[in-house]
Amino acid sequence: MLLHFIFVIKDTDLGKRDKEFEYVKQMANFYQKWIKEKFSIEFDIKCDEMITKPRKFFQRLDTHSLAQDHKQRDKDTYHFYLCHFRPLWTDCTCEGYHAENFGMIKWVIPEDPNNTTFLAQRNCVVVSHELCHELLRQVKYKRYIEDVHDIWTQHYFNDLSFENYDQHFEKTLEEPFFQTIDISSFTLNKN
């Protein structure tokens, strides 16, 4: 199975966001390992950039056009879009959206692209939120929406700590290079 991260950038930003894309590639490798550990699912990983051109209002790029893109590419591949816009509609408590083999988040652009702590705390952790919905669904976990949202609330309002990882994918108590939600309270039936 393939997990394909797609970094969606405006054509005017071409060449200006290479450092962030480097982070995306490292994050993809991190999630390959994290998913194997947490969900016992093995993915191959791929990363690409997708360049968008300015569009007229009625042709605006939105979740629907991304879902079309996903189906046209290969609906059996898990496509995950990291976008410069937010989903028009979502049932999530973050700026992301999930469906079968499909994920998207609004990627928050850092003022300083070298600020990996910002990237971890604003983007990487939101990716883990959407990954969890879809992966829990895949392992037939019933409350794959509610439980993720309960944990998300606990992280933001009840002082539950996020999981922080360093550049080498090891757990750390220092500033995170990667950050995820804590799913240790979920009971998964691993094969």
Closest CB to Zn ion among residues 9, 127 = 127
Closest CB to Zn ion among residues 141, 177 = 141
For residue 71, the minimal CB distance to Zn ion (Å) is 22
Residue 98 CB-density burial (10 A; 0-12 exposed, 13-18 middle, 19+ buried): buried
Q: β-strands 78-83, 102-106: how paired? A: parallel
Closest CB to Zn ion among residues 4, 98 = 98
At 73, give phi and psi (nearest 5°). Answer: -70, -55
Closest CB to Zn ion among residues 92, 120 = 92
For residue 114, the minimal CB distance to Zn ion (Å) is 29
For residue 154, the minimal CB distance to Zn ion (Å) is 14
CB 66 within 8 A of CB 83: yes
Per-residue tokens: 103:
């994920």
For residue 125, the minimal CB distance to Zn ion (Å) is 12
Binding site for Zn ion (CB under 5 A): 92
Whole-angstrom distance, CA of residue 29 vs CA of residue 17? 19
Closest CB to Zn ion among residues 8, 92 = 92
For residue 25, the minimal CB distance to Zn ion (Å) is 25
Residue 12 CB-density burial (10 A; 0-12 exposed, 13-18 middle, 19+ buried): exposed
Closest CB to Zn ion among residues 67, 92 = 92
Query: Closest residue to Zn ion, Cβ-based?
Result: 92
For residue 149, the minimal CB distance to Zn ion (Å) is 6
